[in-house]
Amino acid sequence: MNKMFEQQPIKNGGYTLTNPKKWSKEEEEYLIKIREKGVSLEEISKLLRRYIVSIQIKLKRIGKKNKNYNVNHINEKYETNKLFLDIVQPKNVLDLYSGEKSYYQDKIKNVTSNDKNKLYPNLTYNLPAELLIHKLYFENNKYDLIDLDPFGSAFECFDLAIKMANKALIITFGEIGHKRFKRLDFVKRYYGINTLDEFNIDKLIKEIQKIALRNKKELIIMFKKDWNRISRVYFLIKTIKITEQWDKK
């Protein structure tokens, strides 16, 4: 049970509430980021172990305090997106976690956009990312650029995204957010990370590059950006030609 408002018995019967746990700056930043991704209040309540009413109050207070919250991160992200598009010049894009509107919608002619939030009806799909990417792969779709910008991790989508991407891949590593809470359970299972010292973006990248090699592709880093414990990496894709040479005796 969430002990933030843990109830204590009083002499005349009933219960009284202890003072609520104070919000840290890191928790506030994390709250804004996951809310911007469309995470529900119920899910946030479980992640932060706080009552929904506490989360609602905090969101209102932050909104009044600073309406330009995280604007520097967003601006730099979009500027880097633009630089990368100029390099790749994709003819089609898969934006698997696009949010309300895909960044690529007015920039690339052929955009496949998706977000599981059904309140975004203007997207191509409203499906869970892992389900959609399996559907697209089964249909033999290919894309010049695939953008994986999830809340949390897109690890389950990496292999198929690498298979379907022809020129480039962008990944936002939300796993970095686990480090602030000193949680290794997820990264230990998927990335082989056993200590906080080795929990870094370079280690995550190496594991993704291993997946690419198994698909006969090389992921070449063009840009690597770090914002408040979220890392976004821009890869060019190079196909590896495997040749076998037999010694003649």
197-203 contact pairs (CB < 8 A, 24+): 201/173, 201/176, 201/226, 201/231, 201/233
Query: Model confidence at 113, in pLDDT bands (50, 70, 90)?
Result: very high
| Residue-wise pLDDT tens digits, 128-157 | 999 999 999 999 999 999 999 997 899 999
Domain 71-239 has CATH 3.30.300.30: no
| Residue-wise pLDDT tens digits, 173-223 | 988 878 877 888 889 999 999 999 999 999 999 999 999 999 999 999 999
* DSSP string of 3-26, one letter each residue: -TT-EEE-TTSSEEEPPPPPPPHH
Q: Over 50: is that where the pLDDT of 127 sits?
A: yes
Averaged pLDDT score across all residues of the chain: 84
Distance CA 114, CA 206 (A): 27
What DSSP designation does 249 have? -
Distance CA 127, CA 117 (A): 8
Q: What pLDDT, on a 0 to 100 scale, did the predictor assign at position 238?
A: 97
| Residue-wise pLDDT tens digits, 16-72 | 445 567 888 888 878 877 776 657 788 888 888 888 888 888 887 776 565 554 556
Q: What pLDDT, on a 0 to 100 scale, did the predictor assign at position 38?
A: 58
69 or 89, greater pLDDT: 89
Q: Can you give the pTM of this predicted structure? A: 0.73
**What's the rounded mean pLDDT across residues 67-90?**
82
User: Which residues lie across from 232 on neighbouring strands?
Assistant: 172, 225
Q: If we measure between CA atoms, which residue out of 202, 203, 235, 242 comes closest to residue 219?
A: 235
Distance CA 41, CA 47 (A): 10
Between the alpha carbon of residue 36 and those of residues 29, 33, 52, 59, 72, the distances in Å are 11, 5, 16, 11, 15
What does residue 183 show for φ and ψ, rounded to 5 degrees?
-100, 125
**What's the rounded mean pLDDT across residues 159-182?**
92
